A and B are shown apart, each in its own frame.
Chain A
Amino acid sequence: MGEYIIKRTLQMTVVFFLFLVFSYLLFNAIPGNAFSNLLLNPDLPPDAYNRVLELYGLDKPLFERLQLYIVNFFKGDFGYSYKSFPKTPIELISERLPRTLMLFAIVNIVSFYTGFFIGKILAWRRGSQSETWITLTSVFSYTVFYPWFALMMLWVFGYKLGWLPIGKFLYPEKWYDAPFDSDIVFSSMIKFTIVVSLIQFAAYLATRGIESLSSRRNLRFASLIAIFIGSYFYWNNGAALIKKPYAADIAYHMILPVMVVTIVAFAGTALLTRTTMMEVLKEDYILTARAKGISQKRIRDRHAARTALLPVVTSFIFTIVTIIDGSVLTEQIFSWPGMGQLLLQSVLEEDIPVAMACFSFVGVFALVAHLLADISYSYLDPRIRIKSQG
């Protein structure tokens, strides 16, 4: 296993190097960029023009620039943004990334959970009228033309009913005399979410060994209620009380994007679970379990669903890989100032240092996640583990 990881890491380094070269050349192929637009200012004297070019090293030939870029990249120097000058791409990314991760972590966990649940039931009720209809609905939400659907939802909930805000991260008028930055409030929200989900996860792990299905469910439900009560006390006491209205404002803006993306995203998991579960239900050990007279619910939840979980978990890991890529459209439609919007804006405005930094960030993210997926898969599926050893 160790040898495998080392070999993969070496290959990954080469791939990443190629990726850097390829994306640099790609950006170089676009005619013009934001920087040359700034230099087109007619008030700029010619010697100043040349000096700026020289200062930024843009007068050098392509190959030399590429070399410089890669050397500086590994030194951790990404240059400065062309559009918002004193800021570096790293600063911009570290400001935007938590927002995207928060939004899509919630979406992915919720949609994975509901999708798995629905898919399980679909496979179990195979051939019934309700199965056909629910599957058709899931296919509809899986293949729905996403921007159109999101705009329709915005119209219904944001405009017609007026329940939820139309896009954006917060209401600026509520933040005029706020004692702190929105990022500080947001980071405390992130911490809160992480702690809550860890507690619930721990409750899941603790109740895993309990045999009786109904008492297990009751215990999990009880822990959920305990979390609700605890969070009520947390937000109404001490330091969190001042932040509460501002946190509520951000959370209010998160509802609609989370809801829309979940509706679109759960269907993929549901359909995948349906297929794998149908395959599993054909296995001999399910027949054995039935012959032993185990209750239907137990066969479904403990015998079939756990085996069917394997490919679903893999697809979940691969979904995490595409979070940033997938966030581009969502954040554009809901004007959510996250990583996807930064990536899209920098590409459209040809703010090349930022765009390159975003691209390489997405690349590193994808590579590491792929490696993790391969390793975790070989732990989850014993058949692959044997193959990689032999």
Chain B
Amino acid sequence: MNENIEQDLQKQLRKEAIRRNWNLFRQSKLGMIGLYIVIFFLFLALLQPFLFITGIWNKGVYDPVVGYEAIKDTLLVVECPKEYPTEKYESMKDCPGEGEINVKRLYLAPGVEVGDYYEAFIQPAPPSSRHLLGTDSLGRDVFSQIMEGSQVAFVLGLLSATLGVGISTILGTIAAFFGGRVDAYLMRQSDLILMLPSLPLLFIISAFAELKVWHLAVVLGVLGGLGGSVITIKSQALQVKVKPFVDSARITGGSRWRIMFSHVLPNVAPLALLFMVFSVTGAIASESVLSFLGLLNIDMSWGIMIYLSQTDGFIFSGLEFWWLILPAGLAVTLLAGGFYLVGRGLDDVFNPRLRKR
């Protein structure tokens, strides 16, 4: 009976704390903007499987990797004049104009005369009501690719951040709690990790291992978890360790591990959560950089979309093919920025000195 009441009380207290923190978080404008961005991309990531399962989207057309739709367009065949300006065209750039095609480009199609109409597939196709962000150079739907990319980003970011922060929190607390040789070993280990140049290291790893999303998440998580964040978590744990409640727990006979896990760790957790949110930003950026350089064995991600638009030469064609260049780059930037802003908002909640009042 008594236990039940205590449990209820605890539950209520916890609810109260969550509500209080949520109210604090809501006050920070930047944090809310970040939260909206993250929710938007989460919605995109979940929307795609829903659309496939309910059959609103046909898998053959909208699949981000193997989908294909040929978009036909009828073009008027014209012959470009040798000298400019003429009545129709101001300069060389205006010919062929909209809905027209130069006859010289059709040398592979015999029997086409000037003045005919010629049916052509357009790839990449500009945005239309069927393809909200158009198609890429292989006729695949860009909007669906963005959705797939956000799934990859969420899986990779959250997995590697959780793994990394889990490792660094436990190691940092151990280093602070045991001190001495364990501390020295762990600190020098993080020195060793910090010494390695990260991008070339990932290059070497990708040279002898086929990196998929899961592998990359583990590699990034372990490298991030053993690196610099251990030092920061340790300094936070050192501050908690000298607080009076830890001493009183020791006096009442709590074992070392119990004190560590049930008294010190919960007080380090807010900082760890903060770190996690910030390291999601880093993980998303590294995945995009690696895919951008063509080193990952992933079917589709935002980095690969930019990589493809670069290798196909669209990135230097300016904004004529904006739907191939802007969405992917903006998606990476926005999601990373969203997580960063959420982290800033959480910082306001956990660090009382940052609050407005």
Contacts and interface: CB of A to CB of B under 8 A. Distances in A.
A and B co-occur in one complex: yes
Interface of A: 11-12, 14-15, 18-19, 22-23, 26-27, 29-31, 126-127, 132, 135-136, 139-140, 142-149, 151-152, 155, 159-160, 271, 275, 278-279, 282, 321, 324-325, 328-329, 343-344, 347-348, 350, 355, 358-359, 362-363, 366-367, 370
A145 B306 contact: yes
For the residues of B in contact with A, the DSSP-based class is: helix
Contacts of B328: 148
A149 B289 CA distance: 12
B46 interface: no
B204 A30 contact: yes
B244 interface: no
Given A143-B333, A151-B315, A362 B306 contact: no
B41 interface: no
Contact of B316 (A127, A155, A321, A343): A155
B200 A148 contact: no
Given A135-B30, A329-B289, A344-B200, A19 B195 contact: yes
A343 B200 contact: yes
Interface string B190-224: 01101111111101100110000000000000000
Interface string B263-293: 0000000000000000001000100110010
B108 interface: no
Contacts, number: 128
B110 interface: no
Given A22-B192, A148-B306, A325 B316 contact: no
B135 to A, nearest CB: 20
Contacts of B29: 132
Given A135-B30, A144-B333, A147-B289, A160 B199 contact: no
A23 to B, nearest CB: 8
B195 A139 contact: no
Nearest to A126: B356
Contact of B285 (A15, A136, A139, A143): A143
Contacts of B204: 26-27, 29-30, 347
Contact of A347 (B33, B198, B200, B341): B200
Nearest to A387: B238
A366 B191 CA distance: 9
A149 B329 contact: yes
B315 A155 contact: yes
8 contacts: A19-B196, A29-B204, A127-B356, A145-B302, A145-B329, A148-B328, A151-B315, A155-B316
Given A15-B191, A275-B354, A347-B204, A325 B332 contact: no
A139 B184 CA distance: 36
A1 to B, nearest CB: 18
Contact of A159 (B198, B316, B340, B351): B316
Contacts of A26: 201, 204
B197 A151 contact: no
A325 B197 contact: yes
Given A145-B306, A324-B197, A359-B197, A348 B203 contact: yes
- Lowest 7 CB-CB distances: which A-B pairs, in order? A148-B329, A143-B336, A145-B332, A143-B337, A325-B197, A363-B195, A366-B195
Contacts of B197: 324-325, 328, 343, 359, 362
Interface string B313-337: 0011010000001001100110011
